[in-house]
Amino acid sequence: MTPPYWPIARTLLGRAFSMLDREEGSVSRGSFDRTWWCWKFTDFSAPRMQEGIYPLAFCLTSPLANVEMRNSGRLLDGAASAIGFWARLQHADGCFDEAYPFERSLAATAFTGFYVGAALERLRPILDAGTRDTAMKTIERGATWLDRNGEWHGVLSNHLAAAAGALQLAGDILGTDRFKAARDRYIGKILAEQHAKEGWFREYAGADPGYQGHAIFYLAEIWRRTQDGRLREALRLACAFSAWFAHPDGSMGGEHCSRGTTFSFPAGFEILAPQLDDAAAVAGHLRRSMAGEGCVGAAQMDVWNFFPLLNNLLFAAEMSSTSLGDHALPWHRDGARIVYPDAGLAVARSGNSVIAVGLANGVLKHWLADGTLVYEDAGYLVRENAKAAISHDRRQAEAVDLADCLRLRIETGFCWVTSQRFDPMRFICFRLFTTTAGRIPTVARWLKSLLVRLLVSRTRPASGRLVREICFHGDGALTVTDALDSLPAPPVAIADGLPYHMGSSRYCSLLQGIGPTHRPQPPLRQDGHWKRRIVIPAAP
């Protein structure tokens, strides 16, 4: 049996190899940042693109690859040049940049350390001694930096998990326990922030099932290597939460969650499937959905998330050779309902209909059980002069689970949509700062925290209030009643949208790009208020 994921990943390898500068004599030989070395549209080679080293290593060593791949001198030369180029991008203190020069990013140091470390484990017997030594020294310097530093601008569990994974691999490769304490410190931070009852890992202000799958992968790989019992229990809780958000169309999460991501990382669930029923259920769901048109995976990614999703497919391909058995997701059962009050999320199934609701922002998604997207509703947008505000400023929510329906009442305010963009003058000033004062590590940390506060975590209230009442009936019929007031302009009903910057959001599958069968209708002015009532009948 051909393991799932490998046929999908194989179709993407040409794209991955095209991103590598393979030319002899090129000053950028080994760079995977095609925008920089080929198009010459940017001013530095982004180190995270070097995560493309792992697909080369996989093709050179995996039994899934054919003989031509495993014996390819070109792939081996490419891997060696890419490792050497990655080493040259490292700062003297061991860290790497991600989005701009001298950023000193934990994410870039952690992710590239993990994937180059995983590549080196595979390639060590066939690499030349010089490249092998360079890789090991670079991995050690990166792990030392991770040991001495951290991430200060927020709790992003997938970043912390990648850091722990990079430290685990560094210790395994170098044959040392020197980084074990640092690994455990990162894991301890993740577990301290994990919700004890609901099971989710924190991503900034709350739960995000898309990124949770990413964090689960790194932690599952650490568990696979260590068999840590405490980690297994944390992963059990995390998988139980995630299973509710493996949505019928193949997406994981969406705008109703803390970071608005919808992508699927199957490898962690595949690693854990033999141990945990919920992991097996999610893995089975993803195996099926990735063969269809509703999954948001590597093929839908831009360059910044292409390699993490592709690499995850490759890990999953080697972990998925066994049958999963018959494990149902919790929402498969008619009448299944759950409300996570602290995560601000609810999922329910009635008849042939499934809904997911963000209690923090009122976002609603409605599918048929077969994955058909029936309706999605992200609330309302109001334009005032050149600015826009969206109804995603949480105030309060309550859920009442009655015998005949699930009733949700959500009250939100409006907040301004983050609208900062680079123009030539802003870009010049930004680069001048990052390449002068921004070189100082303490200034770099301050700048990163400032950018996150301005673009991600800051909420700026605007005028307006939305009261949304949702009734999901026992037969699958859905009623949504909205009342809006204190608005400076007529509201516009929107199907999707977020008020903050998040580079990993807004990806979509073909089915999501086409959109739902029912579109949000505009509200009407009644008695000094804007009101709307939508009724979607039960599906047959």
pLDDT tens per residue, range 192-204: 999 999 999 999 8
The model's pLDDT over 220-260, given as tens digits with 9 standing for 90+, comes to 999 999 999 999 999 999 999 999 999 999 899 999 999 99
Instruction: Give 152: exposed, middle or buried? Use CB within 10 Å, 0-12, 13-18, 19+.
Output: exposed
Of the chain, the end-to-end C-alpha distance in Å amounts to 37
Average pLDDT over residues 377-388: 92
395 vs 111, residue with greater confidence: 111
| Structure confidence at residue 295 (pLDDT) | 84
In the chain, % of residues over pLDDT 90 = 81
Residue 29 has pLDDT above 90, yes or no: yes
SS3 508: coil
Per the CB < 8 A criterion, the answer to whether 222 and 183 are in contact is: yes
Average pLDDT over residues 207-224: 97
The model's pLDDT over 110-144, given as tens digits with 9 standing for 90+, comes to 999 999 999 999 999 999 999 999 999 999 999 99
* Ramachandran region, residue 102 (left: φ > 0; alpha: ψ -120 to 50; beta: rest): left
Q: How far apart are CA 168 and CA 182, in angstroms?
A: 9
Per the CB < 8 A criterion, the answer to whether 135 and 145 are in contact is: no
Assigned token pair, 356: 């997911």
Confidence band, pLDDT 50/70/90 cuts, at residue 339: very high
What is the model's pTM? 0.95
- Distances in Å between the alpha carbon of 176 and those of 4, 120, 170, 285, 309? 35, 16, 8, 38, 30
Q: How far apart are CA 485 and CA 234, in angstroms?
A: 43
Average pLDDT over residues 528-539: 92
Q: In what order do the strands lie in the sheet with 373-377?
A: 337-340, 345-350, 353-358, 364-368, 373-377
Domains of the chain by start residue, with CATH: 20-259 (1.50.10.10), 331-536 (no CATH)
The model's pLDDT over 137-188, given as tens digits with 9 standing for 90+, comes to 999 999 999 999 999 888 999 999 999 999 999 999 999 999 999 999 999 9
Q: What is the DSSP string of 82-132?
A: HHHHHHHHS-TTS-B-SSSTT--BHHHHHHHHHHHHHHHHHHTTTS-HHHH
Neighbours of 519 (CB within 10 A): 11
SS3 321: coil
Average pLDDT over residues 262-279: 95
| Structure confidence at residue 512 (pLDDT) | 86
| Structure confidence at residue 32 (pLDDT) | 98
Q: How far apart are CA 314 and CA 266, in angstroms?
A: 10
Instruction: Give 508: exposed, middle or buried? Use CB within 10 Å, 0-12, 13-18, 19+.
Output: middle
| Structure confidence at residue 186 (pLDDT) | 98
| Structure confidence at residue 110 (pLDDT) | 98
The amino acid present at 173, given as its one-letter code, is: I
| Structure confidence at residue 1 (pLDDT) | 55
| Structure confidence at residue 382 (pLDDT) | 95
Q: How far apart are CA 132 and CA 137, in angstroms?
A: 9
The model's pLDDT over 53-64, given as tens digits with 9 standing for 90+, comes to 999 999 999 999
| Structure confidence at residue 511 (pLDDT) | 84
Average per-residue pLDDT for the chain = 94
